[in-house]
Amino acid sequence: MSEKEFAQPDESLYSPNKKGPLGRAFAPVAGFGVTFSTLFRPAVTEQYLPHKPEQKTPPRPRYHGMHRLNRYADGLEKCIGCELCAWACPADAIYVEAASNHPGEQYSPGERYGRVYQINYLRCIFCSYCIQACPTRALTMSTEYEVADQTRESLIYEKQDLLVPLAQGMLSTPHPMAEGTTDANYYRGEITGPTQDQVDWVKQVRPDDPTVSSAQVSTVATKEAQN
Ligand code: SF4
Ligand code: SF4
């Protein structure tokens, strides 16, 4: 190889510019130039005051916040305890234990329900893999982002912390599936509310259940299921 190929590049191409006498004189305070130029611009800091919710900036509608375990319109839980969410989780943040539904103790359509359901928010990275893996849309994410707490134990959310409350007109569980339906009717979204048979069953087994009087009976479920 020739000597020319090993010649060093021109040093001025990568060396910092040499300062003149004025530059050297102001060098110790030159960094403050950025400070002073920013001092009189409007602040972009967003207030975050948990005790003043009116000052909180609402997240975007598709923001991935805390999880929710959803219900069908008749009150049955959508989670079937399949554990696919736990297997999909890259942070090993979900723990599920399934149990069998029984005729007198039916919590979800089909054979099984999620008896134990935990999400460890010390591990969760809010990637949403779990909700994409869920076959029944039982698990979704809300826009709630206030997850901080004082202890490790309080950041492991149990099923009762994640399960959505009963909406107006739903019937509390356990109760049988809508008569004449299979779990497929539930998965297809054909259940629009508790049927009279379901309400009567709860009235007989738990006469003091407050959701019996508020249940909004639906006839659509059975009609569609029989088609
Ligand atoms: S959002 Fe991601 S890290 Fe959090 S529980 Fe779901 S899969 Fe795991
Ligand atoms: S939340 Fe969905 S994926 Fe997870 S156990 Fe329940 S049904 Fe299965």
Give 182 Cα–ligand 2 centroid separation in angstroms.
18
* Res. 50 pLDDT band, cuts 50 70 90: low
Which pLDDT belongs to residue 4? 60
Which residue, 167, 139, 142, is CA-closest to 81?
139
**What phi and psi values does residue 99 have, to the nearest 5 degrees?**
-145, 160
**What is the enclosing helix (H) or strand (E) of 133?**
helix 129-133
Which pLDDT belongs to residue 103? 86
Residue 81 corresponds to which tokens in the numbers above? 């305890």
Which residue puts its alpha carbon closest to atom 8 of ligand 1?
A: 89
> Other CB atoms closer than 10 Å to residue 80's CB: what's the count?
24
97, β-bridge pairs: 116
Ligand 1 close to Cβ of residue 126 (< 6 A): yes
Measured CA to CA, the distance from residue 154 to residue 67 in angstroms comes to 15
Which pLDDT belongs to residue 222? 47
Give 128 Cα–ligand 1 centroid separation in angstroms.
5
Residue 199 C-alpha from the chain's centroid: 31
Could you give the count of Cα atoms lying within 13 Å of 47 in the half-sphere of its Cβ? 8
**Cβ(75)–Cβ(171) below 8 Å:** yes
Which pLDDT belongs to residue 3? 57
